[in-house]
Amino acid sequence: MELNVIINQDCIEGMKNIDDNMIDLIIADPPYNLSKGGEWKWDNSVKLAGMGGNWNKVMENWDNMSLTEYFSFTIAWLTEAKRILKPTGSMWIFGTYHNIGIINVVCQLLNIEIINEIIWFKRNAFPNLAGRRLTASHETLLWCNKGCKKREYYFDYEYSKNGNFEYDTLKQPGKQMRTVWDIPNNKEKRELEFGKHPTQKPLRILKRIIQISSKEGDIVLSPFSGVGSECLAAKELGRNYIGFETDRHYAEIAKKRLEHAISNNQMSIFDSMSKGEKQ
């Protein structure tokens, strides 16, 4: 399987071309199944039956399945993901209350072990305009392993405890990392340079995940790569990547972002220069 590519293909089909136990880290940001009919537009104010809140109702076909379809879809991609994941590997899955319950149940059905559930607290969350419920200000992340009896998954405990997380008001220096992460959802200018995605993830949270659970040279798979944020974070940290994305427009943006990405070595030069400037 070729490495360091964004493939404009359905991930369930694409993963079938990857051998068993090949992948070190999977970061999955699947459709949240938030688009329930209506016009094609970006709209923060539309209410979802039974869900409410100011969710970014993206109104795209990839995000519009019935509950049964979503359940079958989740079983299909998680079955392939489990097969290709190394016993030493990890899988992280993003979700909200609209879909994370289904993903949790499917993980249990497939004997994928959930190591931790992380709450990603977004301190800059968009307010609830109607004032009819609380302001939604988090997403959920499931950290999983293949579910082998012997737990072999890689964990950089030292980084998680002593890494630099200055921006996170909840992480105390030198103390164990907890399961609530305070990471603003803002994107830097460079993250939006070639185009954006309605559910684009900031590089900061992806880099934290990658550093906690993989090593340089490892292979990171992003089954739902959107505009390629997971792959870009992997490249900037010296990991290999494979991304699948069905939407040609997003896949093209992802390819551009990755072509213009700077290597790990250049990143460390920048990092040390900016640390030097601060001192």
Ligand X SMILES: C[S@@+](CC[C@H](N)C(=O)[O-])C[C@H]1O[C@@H](n2cnc3c(N)ncnc32)[C@H](O)[C@@H]1O
Q: Which two tokens stand for residue 210?
A: 């990658």
Q: Which two tokens stand for residue 219?
A: 């292979």
Answer for which of 74, 96, 199, 240 binds ligand X (CB under 6 A) is: 199
Q: Answer left, alpha or beta for residue 121, where phi above 0 means left and psi between -120 and 50 means alpha.
A: beta
Round to whole Å and give the CA distance between 111 and 141: 18
Asked whether the beta carbons of 82 and 146 are under 8 A apart, the reply is yes
> Which residue number places its CB atom closest to ligand X?
226
Which span sits near ligand X by CB under 6 A: 34-42, 129-137, 197-205, 258-266?
Answer: 197-205
Q: Can residue 120 be called a binding residue for ligand X (CB under 6 A)?
A: no
Nearer to ligand X, 88 or 99 (CB): 99
Least distance to ligand X, CB of residue 120, Å: 13
Q: How far is CA 210 from CA 96, 254, 259, 279, in A?
A: 21, 18, 20, 27
Nearer to ligand X, 72 or 169 (CB): 72
Least distance to ligand X, CB of residue 7, Å: 9
Round to whole Å and give the CA distance between 10 and 231: 17
Asked whether the beta carbons of 257 and 227 are under 8 A apart, the reply is yes
Round to whole Å and give the CA distance between 211 and 189: 23
Which positions from 18 through 77 interact with ligand X, judged by CB under 6 A? 29, 31, 62
Phi and psi at 29, nearest 5°, equal -120, 75
Nearer to ligand X, 98 or 197 (CB): 197
Binding mask 215-254 for ligand X (x = CB under 6 A): ---------x-xx-x--------------xxxx--x----
Q: Can residue 92 be called a binding residue for ligand X (CB under 6 A)?
A: no
Least distance to ligand X, CB of residue 187, Å: 9
Which span sits near ligand X by CB under 6 A: 5-13, 78-86, 211-219, 261-269?
Answer: 5-13
